[in-house]
Chain A
């Protein structure tokens, strides 16, 4: 089936809706991300940012709308007007192409930093031991952890753990990277090293969707800022437009919390 989606549209959400029981978390979100674009999602907690991210690699099911990664549907296909859940293998293949970094790192505690990065390369990308190792080592070096290959997560600081988690995700060579409040669980003095790695990735042309409360990072690294509140996109634009000339009262009120930092 020929797909009308242009190639440069890497991620597309159409009317994405999600509820847990009675509470509506996402109320019809439309969003497109171009290849190489760095999109920063901001908004008060409970606005649906994290849920949106989790829907994109199908860690959460959604009830309505569509998600396309590089033209491929996520989670469900539509057939004769009905949604049919895709087979697990298809979902897993899609997930391998969508890198995710979590607020709480989620490294595998029983594996060294090196093994954490190698696992997906060996099991999902099917690289042999040598290739997986050299790719993992080069990514760990790139995030500044070439000296910590054999350390277990418990022996690393939060910032180091998060950098391993980023290396683990990027080493899979995903089409898009999702960052879910990657620095929120870190001590303030460790935030910088993780944001530095993320900025470096952005510069290298990685397509990124970043949920963060770090407004300085959003302004400096983001190509486009999207403000969400109560499950909807309220306002979006370039960093200058959003931060310097907010249009809606809700965004103005939200930004006021950060004014000393800007």
Chain B
């Protein structure tokens, strides 16, 4: 059994790396979209707010797999060739961005109005207010929900295996196909996903504690 695992290890490791890569890209891109979208919801003019609101509500109501298929199979139909990996990252980022936008909006909205009054009263500009007063307080409120989203995204990243990206899930599937050891290797995959997410949750909890001291 040890031999079996060892011989499959390189393939599984490469799959794990792809899962990490996809998740990291999605979280990065999704967070950028989310912060932008959240600020749009909070401070944008009415047309912008409506557009972002539509994006957030729509994307949160569509299954991620449908999004991935729509981009992977749909984009070529309008003349845009995307690789499976890019399609997966794009679809999940749009989904992640919608969630993060709502998290950012909620976090900033929960900061008392008096904080903005005080910052305005000092003569701080919009950017200075965000940077020195709003964001430092919002981060503490964003972090727990963001970590939850990150965990969801890592789990959802396994969906890219359905457009034949060889991530951890797909790699394990291939190993199972070759070895017929389904129980063993799916257990390995489960353990790896769990460890990844557990570590992330722990790190999040520690950061949260550190921030809340200040």
Q: Which of B112, B114, B123 contacts A120 (CB 8 A)?
A: B123
- The listed residue (B112, B114, B117, B123) touching A96 by CB distance below 8 A is B123
The residue of chain B having its C-beta at the shortest distance from the C-beta of A115 within the complex is B132
Q: Hey, which chain A residues are within 8 Å of B133, CB to CB?
A: 108
* Set of chain B residues within 8 Å of A105, measured between Cβ atoms: 114
Instruction: Enumerate chain A residues within 8 angstroms of B119, measured Cβ to Cβ.
Output: 108
List the B residue with the shortest CB-CB distance to A169: B121
8 A Cβ contacts from A30-52 to B: none
Q: Is the CB of A108 within 8 A of B115?
A: yes
- Within 8 Å of chain B (Cβ to Cβ): is A89? yes
Known: A108-B133, A152-B214. A95 touches B117 (CB 8 A): no
Nearest opposing residue in chain B for A57, CB measure? B121
Known: A88-B125, A104-B114. A59 touches B120 (CB 8 A): yes
CA of A99 to CA of B118, assembled, Å: 10
In the complex, whether A199 has a CB less than 8 A from a CB of chain B is no
Partner of B126, one of A88, A106, A169, A172: A88
A92-B214 CB under 8 A given contacts A102-B118, A123-B128 = no
CA distance A119 to B119 in the complex (A): 9
Which of A154-191 touch B at CB < 8 Å?
A: 165, 168-169, 172
User: Which bucket holds chain B's interface residue count?
Assistant: 10 to 19
- Chain A residues lying within 8 Å of B112, measured Cβ to Cβ, are 104, 106
Q: Nearest Cβ in chain B — how far from A209, in angstroms?
A: 14
Residues on B with beta carbons closer than 8 Å to the beta carbon of A107? 118
Contact B123 A108 (CB under 8 A): no
Interface centre among B117, B123, B125 (most CB of A within 10 A): B123
A83 at the interface (CB under 8 A from B): no
Q: How far apart sit A105 and B136, CA to CA, in the bound complex (Å)?
A: 19
Interface residues of B, dominant DSSP: helix
Of all chain B residues, which has the CB nearest A165? B118
Q: Is A82 an interface residue (CB 8 A)?
A: no
A76 to chain B, nearest CB (A): 17
| Known A109-B137, A119-B132, A123-B132: A89·B125 in contact at CB below 8 Å | yes
CA distance A169 to B128 in the complex (A): 17
Q: Decide yes or no whether B62 CB sits under 8 A from chain A.
A: no
Complex CA distance for A37 and B128, rounded to whole angstroms: 32
Is residue B122 within 8 Å, beta carbon to beta carbon, of the partner chain? yes
A172→B122 contact, CB < 8 A: yes
In the assembled complex, the CB of B120 is this many whole angstroms from the nearest CB of chain A, namely: 6
17 sampled A-B residue pairs with Cβ under 8 A: A57-B121, A59-B120, A89-B125, A92-B120, A92-B123, A92-B124, A99-B121, A100-B118, A100-B121, A102-B118, A104-B114, A106-B118, A107-B118, A108-B115, A108-B133, A110-B137, A169-B122
Known contacts A96-B122, A120-B124, A124-B128; can you find 14 more A-B pairs with CB under 8 A? A57-B121, A59-B120, A95-B121, A95-B122, A95-B123, A100-B118, A102-B117, A106-B115, A107-B118, A108-B115, A109-B137, A123-B122, A124-B123, A152-B214
